Structure 1
Amino acid sequence: MPPSSLRVVYAFAREMYPKTTDVFIQYGTAGFRTKANLLEHVVYRMGLLAVIRSRVKNGRTIGIMITASHNLEPDNGVKLVDPDGEMLDGSWEEIATRMANVSDTELEATTADVIRQVGADMALKASVYVGMDTRYTSPRLASAAVHGAMALKGTPKEFGIVTTPMLHFFVKCRNDETYGTPSEEGYYQKIVGAFKRLRARMPVAGEYNNTLYVDGANGVGGKKLNIIKKTLDGELDLHMFNTGGNGGKLNLNCGADHVKSTQTAPVGVEHVPWQRVASLDGDGDRIVYYYIDDKNKLNLLDGDRIATLLASYVNQLLKEIGASDLSVALVQTAYANGASTKYITEQLKMPVTCVSTGVKHLHHEALKYDVGVYFEANGHGTVVYSGKTKEAVRKIFEEGDQEQRKAASILLDIIDMTNETVGDALSDLFLVETALCARGINTKQWMQLYDDLPCQLMKLSVKDRNVVTTADADQQSTSPEGLQSRIDELVANIPSGRSFVRASGTEDVVRVYAEADTQENVQKLAAQVAQAVYDLAGGVGTRPTLPE
């Protein structure tokens, strides 16, 4: 593309999406995420980058999702989706950050430099899919993405309000027609259709009941589940709450992040003792379960619990079809409760790998196995199946004995029910309900599989979160100097103690995680480690208060 063809890049920037702030913004774990009023120029530039990325990938479709996920409504964000429905390749994160932060007058030259750097053939066609969540700022930002794509003569397609996992699914289907149809209806046909097929031949038994309460976080996931609910024919009795009406605010005192972080129930949900509740997050890519017991205590079934439930069920089906030679592994982050790791290795006897925080790290590690199950403790995760696994299951379905074919049929539907591209709250909900129904267990029995160690997660404001760096999958602090040795000293004094700190990839904070044998000790350890971070990393605001 000759330099003259890039003049429209600057023209759009100057006239419609000027850079009006000097605030530096970085492409992190979930793309760019900050206050919505700082993002228009960033999203426009990501439209440019998506077209370049598409051409580098020989015209394959790239996705742009406008969302701030579990953040509150004033925030927003943008992330790019690669052709296989995965997160943007890590090597492009620095390029995205550079394009987002240059001045308007430098944008044309920087765009030309990036095109040369990545070797993009600008004569190729380019395809970009755009989706957005329910935030009032999302339509304007989606328009900026479309204009960015058009400025470099790409072809954008808007899907309107969809969950983040839906957009990942659409991108994957567009680039691999064997995976499904790239539309909302195609998503329902594959994932919900598989659930309905299974439910039709899987009678409700044991302690399981088909009533499920759902907290929709006042976001897009609840809206889509309301659509799905009408098609379930009573196979799952959904009671929906926090679906965006009655003045409810997105993610405010509700949703998966609220339940996980505060260990308290969301507002707006009618609670019956022992009744299971699923909480989604604002863009529909996270899910946690919980129930309130007869003492009014919240019992949380988070991503660790979901991972162990699904892994053990899939592993059971593989044994039933005679394919136990296929490797099944769980991938966790340092935030996974230590009790879950012990349960997986000692009771389920499955391998566990710990990787750095961020879905992209879990996803890539899970792809190394025949069946990879990955979940962050926050409820973001899925299951991935290798081509070898899918081929083996199909062959057994066609050639196995009667019992093997029956189990293989179930497993084929499980595979269809799974959104393998990324963590998907709706897909995961149907997977969990299938596993619970097949086992005939309720949430109390699910909870009794193992006992979590008491844990606590704190957020700490610092002058610069990048001062805190880590290694060994976030489990060891490499800076500031002296922090890790101080953490080691504190942990050594607490029974079953474990703690680590890391800079958030989505917020301007440092996160402090702690585990211990008792609630009292975990509160003590978390506060002590937070104080060490405050002293060594330049904390701002109120100093952490140590328990008496």
Structure 2
Amino acid sequence: MSFSNPRESVFNQPKPVVHLPPDLLAAVTKGAEPYPIPPGKKYQYGTAGFRMKAAGISNAGLDHVIYTVGLIAAARSKKRNATIGVMITASHNPADDNGVKLVDPMGDMLEQSWEGLATTLANTPNDKLAKAYEELVNDTLVDEIRQLHERPAKVVFARDTRASGPYLITALKAALDAVKVEYTDYGLLTTPQLHYIVRCVNTLNSPYAFGEPTEKGYYEKMATAFKTVMHGRAIQGPLTVDCANGVGAPKLKELIKYLPSGKEGGIDIKVVNDDVVRPEALNLDCGADYVKTKQRSPPSSAAQPGDRCCSLDGDADRVVYYYTDESKTFHLLDGDRIATLGAVFLADMTRVAGIDQKLKIGIVQTAYANGAATEYVEKVLKLPVTITPTGVKHLHHAAARYDIGVYFEANGHGTVLFSDNAIKVIKEAVPKSPGQKHALESLRACIDLINQAVGDAISDLLFAEVVLAHKSWTPENWRNTYIDLPNRLVAVAVHDRSIFKATDAERRLESPKGAQEDIDRCCQMYVKGRAFARASGTEDVVRVYAEAHSKTEAEKLASQVAEVIKKYGSA
């Protein structure tokens, strides 16, 4: 009996090396010439993609970064054999900022393992870019060499209303042209609209078709679902929507054309802060981030006590609600509130439809979720809660483990995910009564109304309005479902933030040794005391969150935990 030499095994053969055509490599180098990397600049692809100052774009190097993102998008498209999205936006950041992020084939965020590849390419100078791109192709595509030749890479892209957007699009196109990508420029879109289109393009003519891959298709899908799920319910009064002087304004106005008015059994929406003519007005004293951080209505607000109001951010992927009461006191209804509102409705509908025993519904929160919200979900709604580290990707992945997973960050970014099993159960269930029929029709419409690709402020506000109509709730009724525990957030400067390592979804410190025990002792001194500390990802500070039964106790607890952090941070 003879044995082959193990050294000759296919597993021991060196991987083939892909050599890209010299003319393509030359095109990559030439295309990059107008977009050099400034000396000393370093870039990092994070949850929000790349984001930085865009005033003096070339000085910041954002055009160079955008050019490299075009190359990454091309390679990613080849790798996945699918269309990839590129969105140029800086969301809730000031108007002078801009940024870019990639959208994967199902409308989700870029796979985490590729974030490092995007970072490496962004930090590569022009004279080494062609070689780096060839290495990227070899590192990611060598096992799919045929895909290099079978079909061209395909990319779709859009931008928000920032003044720097058109110039940055030219840098993106230069990269896509250099590596012969087929692309479609969708012009101005909200970030969720681009995510929607990417998913639609990649599921077209499949059993998982998400919709028509056009802006019109987005409006029609949402409006049809909204009409169905409203089912004769009445919405109490108009909704005022602050669009942060961003791209959400013209897009919401367009959607309104497809929706029935209040008189027609639909909704009356008053759009405010809709100035997209002056780019500098974007997110200025308005928008979801302003309302959430300042805990007040935009100064321009003309809303009366009791009026329902909500604010989008600059690219319309976040929404928060709020109102003032008769005593002119401001009340915020943030992402935690939207999550519980949605969960109430979906749990009710599955029960009425008689399918609640076949589906697992849950809510995903971060440690920053108010303790009262968590207690309400677990003790009143009787639903499970999963706590994850901060960052949308963590919440999204955890929500996908439920049949119906609801996730929102407190800042208003979130959505609802329906598993394949949930969709099958909802679509195949046979009603045994008019009530079950209505509940099943409502659930089927919710699957279309909710943008499952990503958090979508416009989709989310329509869903919230549907639930309020079904429950016949005012904003005050909604707020009274539970009372938030007073809380305080403080930042503590430290010498080296890296020594503070968190565990248990960032709720506990595993180092420095002894710090968590000290924090626990502080919490035990107060009724419903809870606190945690986590290092900032960008600066040498540790952020402390504390909550307790009263405002005074919450502030004392935050101060005591801050002292603990100072003690260990200066050691």
Give the alignment's TM-score, normalised by structure 2.
0.88
Residue by residue, what CA displacement relative to the aligned partner does 1:267-305 show, whole Å, maximum 9, x if unpaired?
211120111111111110101101111222111111111
Provide the residue aligned with 2:50 in structure 1.
Answer: 32
Provide the residue aligned with 2:34 in structure 1.
Answer: 16
Provide the residue aligned with 2:217 in structure 1.
Answer: 186
SS in 1 for 2:356: coil
Provide the residue aligned with 1:61 in structure 2.
Answer: 83
Provide the residue aligned with 1:380 in structure 2.
Answer: 413
Is the CA contact (8 Å cut-off) linking 1:476 and 1:484 kept in structure 2?
A: yes
- d(CA) in 2 for partners of 1:130, 1:459: 37
- The answer to whether 1:80 aligns with 2:102 is yes
SS in 2 for 1:306: helix
Q: 1:113 aligns with which of 113, 135, 140?
A: 135
Residue by residue, what CA displacement relative to the aligned partner does 1:187-206 show, whole Å, maximum 9, x if unpaired?
0011122113333x3231xx
After TM superposition, give the deviation of residue 17 of structure 1 in Å: 1.1
- The answer to whether 1:390 aligns with 2:420 is no
Provide the residue aligned with 1:518 in structure 2.
Answer: 550
Is the CA contact (8 Å cut-off) linking 1:217 and 1:243 kept in structure 2?
A: yes
- d(CA) in 2 for partners of 1:463, 1:531: 14
SS in 1 for 2:448: helix
Residue by residue, what CA displacement relative to the aligned partner does 1:93-135 show, whole Å, maximum 9, x if unpaired?
1111111112222222222222111125432311111111111
Is the CA contact (8 Å cut-off) linking 1:396 and 1:405 kept in structure 2?
A: no
Matched to 1:142, the amino acid is: I
- d(CA) in 2 for partners of 1:453, 1:80: 37
Residue by residue, what CA displacement relative to the aligned partner does 1:134-161 show, whole Å, maximum 9, x if unpaired?
1111222222222222222111211111
- The answer to whether 1:196 aligns with 2:215 is no
Deviates most, 522-531 or 262-271: 522-531
Provide the residue aligned with 1:471 in structure 2.
Answer: 503
After TM superposition, give the deviation of residue 521 of structure 1 in Å: 2.6
Matched to 1:172, the amino acid is: R
Superposition pairs of residues 98-137 of structure 1, within 5 angstroms: 98-119=120-141, 121=145, 122-123=148-149, 124-137=151-164
After TM superposition, give the deviation of residue 467 of structure 1 in Å: 6.1
- d(CA) in 2 for partners of 1:163, 1:525: 40
After TM superposition, give the deviation of residue 21 of structure 1 in Å: 3.7
Superposition pairs of residues 226-237 of structure 1, within 5 angstroms: 226-234=253-261, 235-237=266-268
Instruction: Decide whether aligned partners of structure 1 residues 246 and 56 sit closer, same or farther in structure 2, where only a CA change above 3 A counts.
Output: closer
- d(CA) in 2 for partners of 1:49, 1:303: 33
Deviates most, 113-122 or 339-348: 113-122
Matched to 1:31, the amino acid is: G
Residue by residue, what CA displacement relative to the aligned partner does 1:475-499 show, whole Å, maximum 9, x if unpaired?
2235566654554444344432222
Is the CA contact (8 Å cut-off) linking 2:544 and 2:561 kept in structure 1?
A: yes
After TM superposition, give the deviation of residue 512 of structure 1 in Å: 3.2
- d(CA) in 1 for partners of 2:132, 2:480: 56
Instruction: Decide whether aligned partners of structure 1 residues 527 and 271 sit closer, same or farther in structure 2, where only a CA change above 3 A counts.
Output: farther
Instruction: Decide whether aligned partners of structure 1 residues 141 and 461 sit closer, same or farther in structure 2, where only a CA change above 3 A counts.
Output: farther
Provide the residue aligned with 2:297 in structure 1.
Answer: 265
After TM superposition, give the deviation of residue 464 of structure 1 in Å: 7.2
After TM superposition, give the deviation of residue 84 of structure 1 in Å: 0.6
Instruction: Decide whether aligned partners of structure 1 residues 114 and 392 sit closer, same or farther in structure 2, where only a CA change above 3 A counts.
Output: same
Provide the residue aligned with 1:167 in structure 2.
Answer: 194
Q: 2:480 aligns with which of 430, 441, 448?
A: 448
Deviates most, 496-505 or 20-29: 496-505
- The answer to whether 1:318 aligns with 2:383 is no
Superposition pairs of residues 537-548 of structure 1, within 5 angstroms: none
Instruction: Decide whether aligned partners of structure 1 residues 101 and 465 sit closer, same or farther in structure 2, where only a CA change above 3 A counts.
Output: farther
- d(CA) in 1 for partners of 2:252, 2:539: 28
Matched to 1:370, the amino acid is: D
Deviates most, 26-35 or 400-409: 400-409
After TM superposition, give the deviation of residue 421 of structure 1 in Å: 0.6
Provide the residue aligned with 2:523 in structure 1.
Answer: 491
Superposition pairs of residues 37-52 of structure 1, within 5 angstroms: 37=57, 38=60, 39-52=62-75
SS in 2 for 1:119: helix
Is the CA contact (8 Å cut-off) linking 1:29 and 1:505 kept in structure 2?
A: no
Superposition pairs of residues 195-344 of structure 1, within 5 angstroms: 195-199=226-230, 201-204=231-234, 209-234=236-261, 235-244=266-275, 249-325=281-357, 326-344=359-377
Deviates most, 85-94 or 385-394: 385-394
- d(CA) in 2 for partners of 1:154, 1:256: 36
Deviates most, 229-238 or 329-338: 229-238
Instruction: Decide whether aligned partners of structure 1 residues 379 and 465 sit closer, same or farther in structure 2, where only a CA change above 3 A counts.
Output: farther
After TM superposition, give the deviation of residue 429 of structure 1 in Å: 0.4
Is the CA contact (8 Å cut-off) linking 2:52 and 2:98 kept in structure 1?
A: yes
Deviates most, 127-136 or 345-354: 127-136
Is the CA contact (8 Å cut-off) linking 1:33 and 1:506 kept in structure 2?
A: no
- d(CA) in 1 for partners of 2:249, 2:495: 37
Instruction: Decide whether aligned partners of structure 1 residues 537 and 421 sit closer, same or farther in structure 2, where only a CA change above 3 A counts.
Output: farther
- The size of the alignment, in residue pairs, is 532
- d(CA) in 2 for partners of 1:463, 1:135: 37
Q: CA RMSD in A?
A: 2.3
Matched to 2:242, the amino acid is: D
Matched to 1:355, the amino acid is: T
Is the CA contact (8 Å cut-off) linking 2:276 and 2:282 kept in structure 1?
A: no
SS in 2 for 1:153: coil
Quick check: which has more Rg, 1 or 2?
2
Percent of aligned positions with the same letter in both sequences? Answer: 44
Residue by residue, what CA displacement relative to the aligned partner does 1:11-42 show, whole Å, maximum 9, x if unpaired?
222x2211014222211121111212321111
Deviates most, 73-82 or 518-527: 518-527
Instruction: Decide whether aligned partners of structure 1 residues 531 and 218 sit closer, same or farther in structure 2, where only a CA change above 3 A counts.
Output: farther
SS in 1 for 2:470: helix
Structure 1: gaps of 5 or more residues: 539-548
Is the CA contact (8 Å cut-off) linking 2:526 and 2:553 kept in structure 1?
A: yes
Instruction: Decide whether aligned partners of structure 1 residues 158 and 505 sit closer, same or farther in structure 2, where only a CA change above 3 A counts.
Output: farther
SS in 1 for 2:320: strand
Is the CA contact (8 Å cut-off) linking 1:289 and 1:300 kept in structure 2?
A: yes
Instruction: Decide whether aligned partners of structure 1 residues 148 and 492 sit closer, same or farther in structure 2, where only a CA change above 3 A counts.
Output: farther
- d(CA) in 1 for partners of 2:542, 2:100: 22
- d(CA) in 1 for partners of 2:535, 2:224: 41
After TM superposition, give the deviation of residue 222 of structure 1 in Å: 2.2
- d(CA) in 2 for partners of 1:144, 1:231: 35
Instruction: Decide whether aligned partners of structure 1 residues 459 and 71 sit closer, same or farther in structure 2, where only a CA change above 3 A counts.
Output: farther
Is the CA contact (8 Å cut-off) linking 1:310 and 1:435 kept in structure 2?
A: yes
Give the alignment's TM-score, normalised by structure 1.
0.91
Provide the residue aligned with 1:2 in structure 2.
Answer: 19
Deviates most, 458-467 or 319-328: 458-467
- d(CA) in 2 for partners of 1:509, 1:412: 46
- d(CA) in 2 for partners of 1:466, 1:252: 34
Is the CA contact (8 Å cut-off) linking 1:202 and 1:438 kept in structure 2?
A: no
Superposition pairs of residues 334-413 of structure 1, within 5 angstroms: 334-396=367-429, 400-413=432-445
Is the CA contact (8 Å cut-off) linking 2:161 and 2:276 kept in structure 1?
A: no
